[in-house]
Amino acid sequence: MKEETTVTSPLQIHMFPCLQDNYGFLVRSPDTGETACIDTPEVDKIVLALEEKGWTLTHIWNTHHHWDHAGGNLELKKLYDLKIIGCEADRKRLPGLDIGLKDGDHFNFAGHDVHVMETPGHTIGHIIYHIPSAQAAFVGDTIFALGCGRLFEGTPEQMFDSLAKISALPDDTLLYCAHEYTLSNGRFALTVEPDNQALIDFMAKAKTRRANNLPTIPTTVMAEKLANPFVRANSAERLGAIRKAKDNF
């Protein structure tokens, strides 16, 4: 007798620019057709991306409550039969939230395990989504290529712990950051570590990509460990000092 095997195809990830410098992301299973968008920066752009691909939205995964991440939730919910996932602690600030999750929670997306990690700092109630099978993490505004999110609500201690959690992911994990901030982050990073060859090389590549209108996202855990001064800060105090300097840069 032939044994029945379940084949789970790799997830498809589609990335497209939104607003001034945000990225929109769609994650889809070719097996089930389920399609999630990570945050809702710009409804028109998300709808257009879905139409171009011939995909139907079934989920929204929010990283945090800022308008450029959750501002399109309700409009998209009117257009599609979908469920919104986000941080339970931020339920009041996430429009239309259906399923609230917390640190350490897992959920199944079309046969793929998705890990939820709370990464406070930029906001309280910021979460990221790690999909081991795709070697991918959707990190919102916690970490950027060569930078980290501004501390609007959290403390340097919280951001330090959050970046440590991200650093603990496998080195080849692709980090899908929500903004294209790499060149300005890199200019600042070079003032912190002017002789860091990995940083110098990263910036050279990023400049070429941007000159050709290509994204510098995703980055990787390994690249950030080597070049990102916020990830490389060895204490929360140090991170706080670098963050303050960047705010005034």
Task: Report the distance separating Cα 187 and Cα 146, nearest Å.
Answer: 9
Tell me if residue 112 is catalytic: no
Name the token pair of 61.
């995964």
Which range, of 141-149, 156-164, 192-200, 201-209, touches Fe ion by CB under 5 A? 141-149
Choosing from 59, 66, 126, 130, which is the catalytic residue? 66
- Token pair 């994204």: residue: 215
**Residues 203 and 166 sit within 8 Å (Cβ to Cβ):** no
Q: Provide the pairing of β-strand 35-38 with 59-61.
A: parallel
Tell me if residue 69 is catalytic: yes
Which one of residues 42, 68, 118, 180 is an interface residue with Fe ion (CB under 5 A)?
68
List the x/- string, 27-46, binding to Fe ion by CB under 5 A.
--------------------
Name the minimum Å distance from CB 163 to Zn ion: 16
Question: Identity (one letter) of the amino acid at 34?
Answer: E
Choosing from 39, 59, 64, 90, which is the catalytic residue? 64
The answer to whether residue 90 forms part of the interface with Fe ion (CB under 5 A) is: no
SS3 220: strand
The answer to whether residue 180 forms part of the interface with Zn ion (CB under 5 A) is: no
Phi-psi region of 151 (alpha: psi -120 to 50; beta: other; left: phi over 0): beta
Tell me if residue 115 is catalytic: no
Q: Provide the pairing of β-strand 35-38 with 127-131.
A: unpaired
Residues making contact with Zn ion (CB under 5 A): 66, 141
Catalytic residue set: 64, 66, 68-69, 122, 141, 179
Residues making contact with Fe ion (CB under 5 A): 68, 141
